[in-house]
Amino acid sequence: MISNLTQLAVPRSTLGEGPCWDAAAGALYWTDIPASRVHCLADGHHRCWEIGRPAGAVVPRAGGGLVLAARDGFLALDPATGTLTMLAAVEPEITGNRMNDGACDRTGRFFAGTMADDEAPGAGALYRLDRDHRVTQVMADVSISNGIDWSPDERLMYYIDSPTHRIDVFDYDPGTGTAAFSNGRTFARAGGGEVVPDGLTVDSEGGVWVALWGGGQVRRYTPDGTLMLSVDLPAANVTSCAFGGPSLHTLYITTAAGPGSSGGALFACQSTVAGLPANPFRG
């Protein structure tokens, strides 16, 4: 199912995160959180932007450019000029918190969560940025808000709060204005102790790919929650993964510094199963 695992020739990150394939641009974006950088790889050329604050997620914007979930809120980044524009502040009163992982649903609403810099339990929350730039808290009492994605029919939403060692799944109703999710239950358990599930992505067959921080792996779970495949990486701290490439058969994997020969490197491998296109923010 997976072949040709390759370390890509881009600068290593301290904490590489949030890979996202922009099909319109033919570009992979990712962030280096503590370095306050957004990276891009397109046609073999690497670029990066200094953004002056940590960002945990980056998504394309349907009208052009990028949107970040950064320390202080949701910001637009103009790749041509590097200009940042605040779309909506998040938790401006909590200086010890920052935004972390996130993704957009098909309607183009951007979901991203927060966490405390000191990882204080329950200090974070999950937020939804609507197309009109209004922000709503949709889940409280989160510790390290991480991977989020939807099933191919968007009737399920997968979500990881890392210290729970769980991948949770919710029923999702994309048709409502509030994008209601309900009936949360455990989809799968992963890790233990310092080994925790981090980012995730769902493929076109509904398989759920989960990065295992501290565990040196990306794992694929079938839609019924069965562990089907483990991909070993030469870096313990595997942070996230995303499908990209012209046919969405390339799985990109971000990592962070730590044990292993290649901590912080960006990897790619070929998958027989294609991914789903990343949704842009439509506001």
Question: Cα dihedral angle (186, 190, 196, 200), rounded to 10 degrees?
Answer: -70
Q: Which stretch binds Ca ion (CB under 5 A): 97-105, 152-160, 173-181, 182-190?
A: 97-105
Q: Which stretch binds Ca ion (CB under 5 A): 4-12, 94-102, 186-194, 256-264?
A: 94-102
Sequence-distant (6+) residues with CB within 8 A of 11 are 39, 46, 48
* String marking each residue 190-209 x if it binds Ca ion according to CB under 5 A: --------x-----------
Nearer to Ca ion, 30 or 181 (CB): 30
Residue 23: phi and psi, rounded to 5, are -65, -40
Q: How far is the CB of 146 from Ca ion (least distance, A)?
A: 5
* Alpha carbons 196 and 112: distance in angstroms, whole number: 19
Taking the alpha carbons at both ends of the chain, their separation in whole angstroms is 36
Q: Which stretch binds Ca ion (CB under 5 A): 95-103, 131-139, 181-189, 264-272?
A: 95-103
Q: How far is the CB of 212 from Ca ion (least distance, A)?
A: 11
The angle subtended at Cα 217 by Cα 213 and Cα 223, nearest 5°, is 100
Q: How many residues of this chain interact with Ca ion, rule: CB under 5 A? A: 3
* Alpha carbons 41 and 103: distance in angstroms, whole number: 19
Binding to Ca ion (CB under 5 A) within 167-186 occurs at none
* Alpha carbons 279 and 265: distance in angstroms, whole number: 25
Q: How far is the CB of 253 from Ca ion (least distance, A)?
A: 12
Q: How does 186-210 read in b/e, with b if 16+ C-beta sit within 10 Å?
A: ebbebbeeebbbbbbbbbeebbbbb
Nearer to Ca ion, 97 or 146 (CB): 146
Binding to Ca ion (CB under 5 A) within 3-42 occurs at none
Count Cα neighbours of 79 within 13 Å in the Cβ-side half-sphere.
Answer: 23
* String marking each residue 132-151 x if it binds Ca ion according to CB under 5 A: --------------x-----
Nearer to Ca ion, 67 or 130 (CB): 67
Q: Among this protein's residues, is 198 annotated catalytic?
A: yes
Nearer to Ca ion, 161 or 198 (CB): 198
Q: Pick the catalytic residue from 198, 203, 224, 232.
A: 198
Q: How does 220-239 read in b/e, with b if 16+ C-beta sit within 10 Å?
A: bbeeeeeeebebebebbbbb
Nearer to Ca ion, 70 or 130 (CB): 70
The reply to whether 101 sits near Ca ion by the rule CB under 5 A is: yes
Residue 279: phi and psi, rounded to 5, are -85, 135
Q: How far is the CB of 202 from Ca ion (least distance, A)?
A: 16
Residue numbers annotated as active site? 198
Interacting residues toward Ca ion by CB under 5 A = 101, 146, 198
